[in-house]
A and B are shown apart, each in its own frame.
Chain A
Amino acid sequence: ELKVEQNPLFLSMQEGKNYTIYCNYSTTSDRLYWYRQDPGKSLESLFVLLSNGAVKQEGRLMASLDTKARLSTLHITAAVHDLSATYFCAVDGNLGTYKYIFGTGTRLKVLA
């Protein structure tokens, strides 16, 4: 059974600092997705990673995928308050059904 773990679960950081969120998964997959969720809101798609070594960047966020290590990272550069949200990774179990298994989520709070 595919399991997806994120760490840390909670992250409080100062504006201007850098940090990385980690997403580990337990079985082979080369399809990984990152989503953002603001309090009381739905999930917003951030990145789609589809191969080993894939790297995507949007503003202060950069996501990467290492399928051999079964690890994806979401790196935050020079954090700003607007990045405060919960970030989820989701892994497609490669079973041909496009079934996502979501991670536990990382609640990020950027302090001004």
Chain B
Amino acid sequence: EAGVAQSPRYKIIEKRQSVAFWCNPISGHATLYWYQQILGQGPKLLIQFQNNGVVDDSQLPKDRFSAERLKGVDSTLKIQPAKLEDSAVYLCASSLDVWQGRRGSYNEQFFGPGTRLTVL
């Protein structure tokens, strides 16, 4: 089974420029996540989609970041304009809900290789 695909793998831009990242989740996974991982820290959720609807974007800096998931499959994350502090790895993950009966459901997230963004 193919994993989560992301591109590009690396990107270097000047501050105030714009950049876009692409993610293709595992086939059949309804939920897609974008995370920002700053060096030496754990991933921080930016936005979560369920199919093509937004579930949580509370930590997305909406003045400069935007994301969309058309047709409930691929997703793009855009930064415009970029700031120095946006330098990080941007990880995409997807998950499938697993039903446990009386215990409810859970999901396990599978991560892509990430895009390393450097803003100069």
Contact = CB atoms under 8 A, between A and B. Distances in A.
Interface residues of A, number: 24
A33 interface: yes
Interface in B37-60: 40-45, 48, 55-56
A68 interface: no
How would you classify the secondary structure of chain B's contact residues: helix, strand, loop or mixed? strand
How would you classify the secondary structure of chain A's contact residues: helix, strand, loop or mixed? strand
Interface of B: 31, 40-45, 48, 55-56, 91, 93, 95, 97, 100, 103, 106-114
16 contacts: A31-B106, A41-B113, A43-B43, A50-B103, A50-B106, A92-B107, A97-B55, A97-B56, A98-B48, A98-B95, A98-B97, A100-B43, A100-B45, A100-B109, A102-B44, A105-B42
